[in-house]
Amino acid sequence: MTGYGRAECQLDQASYLIEMKAVNSRNLDLKLRLAPELMPFELQLRKAVSSIVIRGKVDCTITRIDASTQAASLNIEQAEAYIVQLKQLAEKTGVELSSLLPSYLQLPGILGSADVKYSDEEIKQLEIACQEAAQNLMASRLHEGDSIAADLQSSIEAINTRMADIEPLESRRIALVRERLNKKLIELKLGDQIDQNRFEQELVFSLDKLDINEEKVRLRQHCAFFVEVLTSEASAKGKRLNFISQEMGREINTLGSKANDSEIQRHVVDMKTQLEQIKEQVLNVL
């Protein structure tokens, strides 16, 4: 599930902007991009974020935003090494050395932030700001989650509606099965040789194999359980919903195999379509 959150933190020596973006992932995959002076505190900041964000592929960027107070230092040793290489490149290609200089300061390792030291209390403030950004991210996810929940319930209602549409079609199957059996007997010229009582017994046996009442009952129960879990206050329900959707799929497939009727098959196909949408959306549920 996607989401975005941000927060700002004002320390004595600098101000920082914390931004987080997330997409769906089975587990928590947190990537931190920190201002250089914050690298020693990566572990604390990572724990602060993971204490709020449960799951997802999260990109967290902490940027220093007070450019006016951001001191910089020149890495003399690295700068001299680059100059030697740039001179060799200019001589080999015939390019003027001065034309290469604008890109010179952008080479990695040339400029670095001045040494900045923070107290434990300041790092604690930064951790709190990270948690605030994470909470804003989760709030964004919850807003999206409301839309996903509505879509899931709509799909469940559609499946229940298709089951209701199937019921009037079931009674006519008896007449259709009887008609097909009689037609087959006539084609084989066996109509006068068949005991009617035995025929009725075979008809009942055939219809019993095609009976879908048990499948409909179980499917309704799965649908009701799905909605119950979806609307519960549980913090992590994605896996349970996934398991329930798999059970729904088994019952729908059995309905299709027993349908023996083109109209019922159409409704079964619609139910399968709704179930595929459910499975896709469940992947976005924590």
Q: What is the pLDDT of residues 1-12, one digit of tens each?
A: 688 999 999 988
Whole-number Å distance between alpha carbons of 132 and 167: 53
Kindly state the average pLDDT of the residues 54-69: 80
Mean per-residue pLDDT, 151-160: 95
Does residue 163 have a pLDDT over 70? yes
List the domain boundaries for the chain. Answer: 3-69+120-136, 72-112, 142-282
pLDDT of residue 36: 81
Average pLDDT, the chain: 82
The string of pLDDT tens digits covering residues 74-113 is 566 767 777 787 788 778 887 776 776 666 656 655 555 5
Contact 47, 30 (CB under 8 A): no
CA dist 45 and 129 (Å) reads 10
Give, to the nearest 10 degrees, the angle between helix 238-259 and helix 120-187.
10
Report CA 82 to chain centroid distance, whole Å.
46
Per-residue pLDDT, 196: 63
pLDDT tens for each residue of 189-227? 555 556 666 666 666 666 666 778 889 999 999 999 999
Distance CA 218, CA 213 (A): 9
Please, is 2 exposed, middle or buried when counting C-beta atoms within 10 Å of its C-beta (0-12, 13-18, 19+)? middle
The answer on pLDDT for 167 being more than 90 is: no
Cα–Cα distance between 285 and 281 in angstroms, integer? 7
User: 247 versus 23: which is more confidently predicted?
Assistant: 247
Residue 168 predicted with pLDDT over 50: yes
Q: Are 130 and 19 in contact (CB under 8 A)?
A: no
What is residue 94's predicted lDDT score, i.e. its pLDDT?
Answer: 78
Cα maximum dimension of the chain: 108
CB 54 within 8 A of CB 142: no
pLDDT for 69 equals: 46
pLDDT confidence of residue 109? 56
What pLDDT does 142 receive? 83
Report the percent of the chain where pLDDT is more than 90: 40
CATH number for the domain running over 3-69+120-136: 3.30.230
Q: What is the pTM (predicted TM-score) of this model?
A: 0.62
